[in-house]
Amino acid sequence: MKRKIYLDNSATTPVAPEVLEAMMPYFAGAYGNASSLHSFGQEARRAIEEARAQIAEILGVDPKEIFFTSGATEADNLAIKGLALADPRRRHIITSQIEHHAVLHPCMWLEKQGYEITYLEVDQFGRVDPEAVRAAIRDDTLLVSVMAGNNEIGTLEPIEEIGRICREEGIPLHTDAVQAFGKVRLPMEAIDLLSVSAHKLNGPKGVGFLYVRKGLKLIPLLHGGGHERGLRSGTENTPGIVGLAAAARLAFSEMDEVAARLRDYRVRLIEEIGKIPGTRLNGHPTDSLPHIVNFSFAGIEGESLVMRLDEHGIAASTGSACSSPNLEPSHVLKAIKVPLAMAHGSLRISTGRSTKPEDIDALLSILPGVVEDLRAISPFKVGE
Ligand SMILES: Cc1ncc(COP(=O)(O)O)c(C=O)c1O
């Protein structure tokens, strides 16, 4: 059978063997509840606190500032709604038009409760202008939430500058670092709240954390047994938390080497795919996460492209080009003003630590023919 090639690492990643190995003892052997007083419980507690300390060390923060969650959707919701509940007098939030729905939808929900949200525009590459953040800040601004790196087009945001402005104005900065954590260095001194998910960094699904700078008050969204120092009730996912820490350690230990390799793949993809007529690169050519690259092809549907590539054993994605049933193009591509006809023909390629040069060769040998075939049967003509 043909070898399958996985180029959809922004959607999720395989669990690395060393991460799986670290997790295994905590399923059936050391299965205690970390809240129990006996030795089973203490063993689980020790593992969780060790994981917390390891993550804190990687980020250069205090372990008390790390709160484990069920993933980044929960971490984003907790950061935004938890802060809103804690400071009900401040009813204005600043975010960007290209955030993940895990940030946009809590903001939209708060909007329905009477909050005002500023959705900042981005430039043609998807970058937020730090001065636009400054200009949007008001007396009642609660929070600025801007992602570290975009999950569809890869563009990196100027978090350090935005954080400096937020510090000057006394407003906390939340950043969704799901795609950036373990891929690029994060300016932690500029960040007050940070969301991370394990399954994007060769860890398990259903676990992540929220970093909360000491002194910031959040109201919990889940009430119960008072776990995670009262901020997130629910029996801790010990194997998941151990896996998250192992994945973080692995990612940071090899970050420079892996990022350099993925960056080389990205350069090659941009160079070669750019030769296909009627192609457009979405996102910044260089100021980008190393593992994500997004193209549009005139005259074809991204979905058909993904299905055809899948028939050739290659998994990539449209980058949620049509994320709703009425085939609306993605909010990210709309925000960077990709022409409508092109926004439907998008392809996101996202590489990972196990991507090989042969995988890139295989994609590059197949893609031009697939694009040509699809165009031949398309009712739209390139150039129309
Ligand atoms: C930027 C970003 N934020 C949040 C999420 C949601 O993370 P999780 O799957 O852990 O809830 C994702 C995953 O697609 C993402 O890419």
Which has the higher per-residue pLDDT, 362 or 383?
362
Fold held by 17-253: Aspartate Aminotransferase; domain 2 (3.40.640)
DSSP β-bridge partners for residue 288: 155
Q: Is the CB of 208 under 6 A from ligand 1?
A: yes
Residue 320 has pLDDT above 70, yes or no: no
Mean pLDDT of 204-208: 98
**329 CA distance to ligand 1 centroid (A)?**
19
**72 CA distance to ligand 1 centroid (A)?**
5
Long-range contacts, stretch 18-26, CB < 8 angstroms, 24+ apart: 18/246, 18/250, 19/202, 19/203, 19/204, 19/243, 19/246, 19/247, 19/250, 20/243, 22/242, 22/243, 22/245, 22/246, 23/204, 23/239, 23/240, 23/242, 23/243, 23/246, 24/239, 26/238, 26/239, 26/242
DSSP 240-251: HHHHHHHHHHHH
Helix (H) or strand (E) segment spanning residue 361: helix 357-377
Residue 212 has pLDDT above 70, yes or no: yes
Residue 383 has pLDDT above 80, yes or no: no
Q: Is the CB of 320 under 6 A from ligand 1?
A: no
Tens of pLDDT, residue by residue over 227-282, are: 999 999 999 999 999 999 999 999 999 999 999 999 999 999 999 999 999 999 99
Tens of pLDDT, residue by residue over 2-11, are: 789 999 999 9
Active-site residue identified among 117, 255, 270, 322: 322
Atom 11 of ligand 1: nearest residue by CA position = 73
**102 CA distance to ligand 1 centroid (A)?**
7
Q: Is the CB of 100 under 6 A from ligand 1?
A: yes
Name the pLDDT band for 328 (thresholds 50, 70, 90): confident
Name the pLDDT band for 321 (thresholds 50, 70, 90): very low
- Rounded mean pLDDT of the chain? 95
Q: Is the CB of 197 under 6 A from ligand 1?
A: yes
Residues in the chain: 384
**Residue of 145, 150, 197, 318 to mutate, ligand 1, most atoms within 8 A of C-beta:** 197
Q: Is 166 a catalytic residue?
A: no
* Domain spans, the chain: 5-13+255-377, 17-253
Tens of pLDDT, residue by residue over 339-361, are: 988 999 999 999 999 999 999 99
Nearest CA to 246 out of 99, 72, 51 is that of: 51
**177 CA distance to ligand 1 centroid (A)?**
9
Name the pLDDT band for 64 (thresholds 50, 70, 90): very high
pLDDT of 382: 57
Mean pLDDT of 108-136: 98
DSSP β-bridge partners for residue 5: 314
CA distances (Å), origin 383, targets 271, 279, 368, 372: 21, 11, 17, 14
Mean pLDDT of 103-124: 98
Helix (H) or strand (E) segment spanning residue 223: none
Name the pLDDT band for 384 (thresholds 50, 70, 90): very low
**Domain 5-13+255-377: homologous superfamily in CATH:** Aspartate Aminotransferase, domain 1 (3.90.1150.10)
